[in-house]
Structure 1
């Protein structure tokens, strides 16, 4: 195994790994080029790549990266299956990646390997800055393929939360020497004498060092996202391999939040109530001797200085980067969101929105799935399937099999699979909503276009005082205390990029 090597100078700012292409390669590259740690999201990377191809890959970036992938047979299958010269017609639905099952993981896994490579390769193209990949631990069926693809492209860091990623270090170790990665699949109701495991062998895809005739892959540094110093201590001592540091996420961070410790209590708005028990003890973190970064409510110069004074290496910031012009957010959604935020649109930590059971922060925008009326009018469907849970289905002959279900799929389907009616209440299709956030909404039967579901951290309220357009470099400059990119009377600001030179996504 190639041991991970931490950089001599640690980045003070980690750009957050916002899911499904908000943290795309352009944003990660922009952050890396100004000396901080840029992060690409590996979530939904197979669907993301195939939808870019179906939109014609008009700037040629995806195909440019594909030329460097080490197995061109895999590349050709992706192009044959999804590339449309000039792009699909505006009313043409996206061709979907077939939903994987435990017994049939391809072509989804193959496409995710290629997609993970493409996103990482593009983020690292043309500079020597640091690039990481973010993934959600709970998405067990969709974790190893993007990791392998990212490692083939030389990813420097892997950052994972939304669960306890105890097994990931060993997967990284194994992939670095071309050996199979193995993850236990959590199967609800599975007999205690059984244990289902997922295995990804690089050799089966012709991606091992022997087949490629190359040396070992670089083993990236691994930073789990944790909320508790107790979990950090456990991972540092009992993970399946080395852990190089931690991101400590407070409940104010965007996206999925860890549930409060103890019995769930809600405030008058139906939001989870967090307390002192939900904050990590930084003295205990310092005693571990590993670098850590603070996330959630730290997106300011004062937040960075406070983190450094507490012994942290720096901060992780998501929300400010999500709304900058370098992020993958659909430009029309970005403009509308900023307008509504300045008009008083709020943020709600919804304990029910996510099918995973984790609280999920949602910006309350009237034209998105946050609107109860629009949510009720949507036809429920599970056609992307990243958040499906595995469950044990007992057969009549005494044998059993593993099924997959999602609390946001059609209610009768979920109940038929053994789910409870109560579990479906308020559940939203994050997969389709987040794809729409990035400008890739599916067109369902009857022409129904999937609506966005925008997530942010509590720092979103600060954007009411910011200019309408600012770059990733502006955010870094602001966080380091070098500029103040806030609106003046004319709505302009210092350090602002004059125009967004990146093409608009144009899907909203």
Structure 2
């Protein structure tokens, strides 16, 4: 495709891939149907699929998608393990899914591949717009199988943040050709570890080559962008540049950490990306965090950006995967000016600052956090470490303190850490109900700039957000 045609094909607006299930297939499909880039969150799709199947798959959407999986017997095994006709009873605990790990696990890989296929398939259904999937580089153990499932469904873009996605170009090349694909996995105290997938061995047959999606690296600095762009082996097709006010995780400030009077990280000039240097790399980029307005798109383009990525306005729209009650409450608080979103340096087990919306009854409240029994039964944010005997273990600062200490970490590392995995699942109505009757409370995240609501109707839809952001802009 000639360069001019490729540039014309880039979207002006990217819908952010938010949370666990917030940016689900309904939201991504609604945005893509407008011609802009709709994005599904690829985080923990294995557990969201498994739990929705256990709820009986209302509407039959997941079963419709799985009926189109290219190797039927694989999808049928997943359905056999998790689908419950009519759904489980209220308060019945969900069946667990295999946790991420370095050891090969066929059922785990099948579930991840099928889940990502289903989500992207449904997002692409019924329109010709572009659809992307968002992954966290930090969750390295999940990426090969998850990405392969998305490619099987014809995903157009893969967006990766929360790390340095230097190996993703090669991974996508290999997966598109159904070749065995691997990426490095960081193991504390060890080296040389990888996670991978052999598509032919998993599916039992070799399929025809797949289109290779465009790769967008999510970064917070021009330094990282320049590092990735320096070589064809690491170069993405473009960048999304997030400012510290964007929702979810954000990069910590550069240099010695400093907290303000409210206990939030202080960002300074060193944390501001040099947009001139970004533009000089010659790759398209989009700006995210505080750009969810018509003026934001104009500012981004004036700085040389192709467009903007917007999250929070979509997180609060009708097609969002957020629990409707929680979504309405967030919107009402934000519209009234009473919503505070704290950039909490301690909440996330990753050690990265994480935006926590302060809402009664959620894990943002200290009393709710203290009441929750500490456990790590999902483990997406666990980090591998090498034991004294050379074997690999896994630990998470949100697990029981004594367990973390036995694994070689200080007790203070666990202070104030929230279980993001369970909290974010509860936010989309898929929280676990324990055998003793305890129900997981939600954790809500949002961007810190609430100006995105100005001018939007009550109970707005995704198309309202797209129309408002593109208002007056040449697309």
Interval of TM-score (by shorter of Structure 1 and Structure 2)? over 0.9
Taking structure 1 as the reference length, the TM-score comes to: 0.89
Aligned partner of residue 222 in structure 1, secondary structure:
strand
- Residue 443 of structure 1 aligns with which residue? 433
Q: 1:357 aligns with which of 319, 335, 351?
A: 351
Structure 1 pair 90–196 and aligned structure 2 pair: CA distance change class (3 A): same
User: In 2, distance between residues paired with 1:470 and 1:482?
Assistant: 20
**1:276-355 paired onto structure 2 within 5 Å:** 276-341=269-334, 342=336, 344-355=338-349
| Alignment-derived partner of residue 502 in structure 1 | none
SS of equivalent residue, structure 1 residue 60: helix
Query: Is residue 389 of structure 1 aligned with residue 389 of structure 2?
Result: no
Aligned in 2, Cα 1:157/1:218: closer, same or farther, shift over 3 Å? same
Instruction: List per-residue Cα deviations over 1:334-383 (Å, max 9, x = no partner).
Output: 11222333261311000011101110001000110000010001001111
Q: Counterparts in 2 of 1:479-490, with a 5 A limit?
A: 479-481=469-471
The structural deviation recorded for 1:6 is: 4.7
Structure 2 CA distance for aligned equivalents of residues 391 and 239 of structure 1: 31
2: CA distance, partners of 1:13 / 1:464: 18
Change (3 A) 1:94 1:149: same
**Aligned-pair CA distance for 1:104:** 4.1
TM-superposed deviation, 1:23: 0.4
User: What is the deviation of 1:445?
Assistant: 3.3
Measured at CA, do residues 300 and 264 of structure 1 come closer, stay the same or move farther in structure 2, by a change above 3 Å?
same
Secondary structure in 2 aligned to 1:361? strand
Corresponding residue of 1:101: 101
Match of 2:112 in 1: 112
Whether 1:475 aligns to 2:465 is yes
Q: TM-score if structure 2 supplies the norm length?
A: 0.96
Maintained 8 Å contact 2:100/2:380: no
- Are the equivalent residues in 2 in contact too, given 1:24–1:327 (CA < 8 A)? yes
| Residues matched between the structures, number | 468
Q: Is the 8 A contact 1:335 1:468 kept in 2?
A: no
Distance of 1:122 and 1:304 partners within structure 2: 29
The answer to whether the aligner puts 1:366 opposite 2:383 as a matched pair is no
The answer to whether structure 1 residue 222 and structure 2 residue 215 are counterparts is yes
How many Å separate the matches in 2 of 1:165 and 1:32? Answer: 25
The equivalent residue for 1:506 is: none
| Counterparts of 1:238 and 1:403, CA distance in 2 | 34
Query: What is the RMSD of the two structures over their aligned residues, measured on CA atoms?
Result: 1.6
What is the aligned counterpart of 1:198 among 182, 195, 200?
A: 195
What whole-Å deviation, never above 9, does each CA across 1:219-257 have from its counterpart, x for those lacking one?
A: 000000011111111101136344111001111111000
CA shift for structure 1 position 165: 0.5
User: Map of 1:403-482 to 2, 5 A cutoff?
Assistant: 403-460=393-450, 462-463=452-453, 467-481=457-471
SS at match of 1:432: helix
Deviation at 1:419, TM superposition (A): 1.7
Per-residue deviation at 1:319?
A: 0.4
Deviation at residue 276 of structure 1 after TM alignment:
1.2
CA contact (8 A) 1:100 1:106 kept: no
CA shift at 1:415, angstroms? 1.1
Per-residue deviation at 1:98? 2.1
Match of 2:253 in 1: 260
Query: 1:384 touches 1:432 (CA, 8 Å); kept in 2?
Result: yes
- Structure 2 distance, partners of 1:107, 1:128, is 33
In the TM superposition, residue 462 of structure 1 has moved relative to its aligned partner by 4.7
Q: Distance in 2 between matches of 1:295 and 1:283?
A: 16
**Is the contact between residue 167 and residue 239 of structure 1 (CA under 8 Å) also seen in structure 2?**
no
Say if 1:135 and 1:161, in contact at 8 Å, map to a contact too. Answer: yes
Q: Is the 8 A contact 1:338 1:464 kept in 2?
A: no
- Specify the SS of the correspondent of 2:113: helix
CA distance in 2, matches of 1:231, 1:251: 15
Going from structure 1 to structure 2, the CA distance change for 1:384 and 1:150 (only over 3 Å counts) comes to same
Q: Distance in 2 between matches of 1:65 and 1:247?
A: 30
For residue 267 of structure 2, give the secondary structure of its aligned residue in structure 1: coil
> Does 2:259 match 1:271?
no
Q: CA distance change for structure 1 residues 350 and 288 in 2, over 3 Å: closer, same or farther? A: same
CA distance in 2, matches of 1:93, 1:6: 49
Distance change (3 Å), C-alpha of 1:107 and 1:460: farther
**Which residue number in structure 2 is paired with residue 493 of structure 1?**
none
Q: Which residue of 2 aligns with 1:491?
A: none
State whether residues 342 and 448 of structure 2, in contact with CA within 8 Å, keep that contact through their aligned partners in structure 1.
no
Residues 264 and 219 (structure 1 numbering): CA distance in 2 closer, same or farther, change over 3 Å?
Answer: same
What residue is the counterpart of 1:496 in the other structure? Answer: none
Question: Over residues 431-490 of structure 1, what are the superposed CA-to-partner deviations in whole Å (9 max), with x where a residue is unaligned?
Answer: 00110111101002311111111001112365487544000000001111269xxxxxxx
